[in-house]
Amino acid sequence: MKSSLLLLPAVLLLAGCGTTVNTVSRADSLASPSMVADRRVITDNSLAGMVRVVSVNQATVSGNLLKIQATIENLKRSTKTLNYKFEWVDENGMAIDSPNETWKQIRLQPRETTTISTVAITPRAVDFNLKLKE
């Protein structure tokens, strides 16, 4: 009996670690995003079952720099770690070297939806690739 009373706080603590994220937002959004029609290439079915890209939005900032924002969702009931990077492409379809082209890591809580974004370093960037990996 005494040992089970000692385990109860540990069990409650661990149970709290697996909770999902509650979100509150405006019922009638005032935002009018410029959504990007995207093409998806799935090479990792495990990752596709774990995280999904909900939408991709674009804007122009600082006068003429392309900004991309992707909304991603953890589909699982456990915390997941995801690596991502954006790559920029010019009007000729050529990759643009950028210091922003490094893998970044994000932790998503169970069922959490969040955004990742980046801004092009040059106005020559007219397109992008978003890459995801575990």
- Mean pLDDT on 23-42: 76
How far apart are the C-alpha atoms of 93 and 127, rounded to whole Å?
A: 8
* pLDDT tens sequence across 42-100: 878 888 899 999 999 999 998 899 999 999 999 999 999 999 999 999 999 999 988 87
Segment holding 4, helix H or strand E: helix 2-17
Which residue is associated with the tokens 């069922």? 111
How far apart are the C-alpha atoms of 66 and 123, rounded to whole Å?
A: 7
Q: Is residue 11 over pLDDT 80?
A: no
Residue 9 phi/psi, 5-degree rounding, is -60, -40
For the chain, the average pLDDT equals 84
Q: Which two tokens stand for residue 54?
A: 């909900």
**% helix / strand / coil in the chain, to the nearest 5?**
15, 40, 45
Give the model's confidence band at 107: pLDDT under 50 very low, under 70 low, under 90 confident, else very high.
Answer: very high
* Bridge partners (DSSP) listed for residue 40: none
Cβ(71)–Cβ(38) below 8 Å: no
How far apart are the C-alpha atoms of 17 and 20, rounded to whole Å?
A: 9
Give the model's confidence band at 21: pLDDT under 50 very low, under 70 low, under 90 confident, else very high.
Answer: low
Question: What domains are defined for the chain?
Answer: 34-133 (2.60.40.3230)
9-13, 51-55, 126-130: range with lowest mean pLDDT: 9-13
pTM comes to 0.75
